[in-house]
Amino acid sequence: MFSLRNPGQRVHEEEQGQGQHLDSAQTEAAFSAQLIRHNIQVALLAAALGMTFGIGTALLLFENGVLLGAVAVHYTHQGFGLFMTAWLLPHGVFEIPSILIAGQAGFYLARLLLRRREDRNVRQSMREWLVLVAGLAMMLVWAGVMEAFVSQHHAPVLPYGFKVAVAAAELVLLTIYLLMIGRREIGTEARSRVPSENR
């Protein structure tokens, strides 16, 4: 959820404790559930728009990219880059890659539609598509939790340095996980090809 309101006013209100803080665990949990539902809906839409041969997926990714870029430039240009980084990254580290994976799922679906006559193993391809969708949904659950419980709490409640450090740790763990999964998938594909090549 982005805002293009006056960055200076926003930062001042947050640092003076005048922002709209989530004041209870129940409120935070409800807000987190709302974020998770919204983000998963957007991601599923991006994946499903592959039915438009990828055109809808590309437009949705472009729209979200422009909005995020506008917010980043707006805050950074006025000298509030640290605030913006601490505000967006704790949940964005998972949310942004998950939307990109949703885009990948959309383009993958478009490829299946365009090459359906050539692809003899449609079931296997659809299973791979569903794995992408399930993976991004889990990532968005975590992103929703982080946005409600960490990202929306600004200094002095949560120091900017702490929030950036949390985001950096998330990024390292996510990168390691994705690299491990990628290597395992490559190894599995290589093993599955050996018997057929030796025949």
Confidence of residue 40 (pLDDT cuts 50, 70, 90): very high
CA distances from residue 108 to 75, 145, 180, 187 in whole angstroms, order as listed: 35, 28, 22, 21
Q: Is the bond preceding 156 in cis, omega lying within 30 degrees of 0?
A: yes
Residue-wise pLDDT for 155-186, tens only, equals 888 899 999 999 999 999 999 988 887 677 66
Most confident range (mean pLDDT) of 1-15, 79-93, 106-120, 171-185 is 79-93
Token look-up 């090809």 returns 193
In the prediction, which pLDDT does 185 show?
A: 63
Residue-wise pLDDT for 115-128, tens only, equals 765 555 777 788 88
Cβ contacts of residue 19 below 8 Å, gap of 6+? 10, 13, 154
Residue-wise pLDDT for 128-146, tens only, equals 888 888 888 899 999 999 9
pLDDT reading at 54 higher than 60:
yes
pLDDT reading at 38 higher than 80:
yes
pLDDT reading at 111 higher than 70:
yes
Cβ contacts of residue 30 below 8 Å, gap of 6+? none
The structure's pTM equals: 0.79
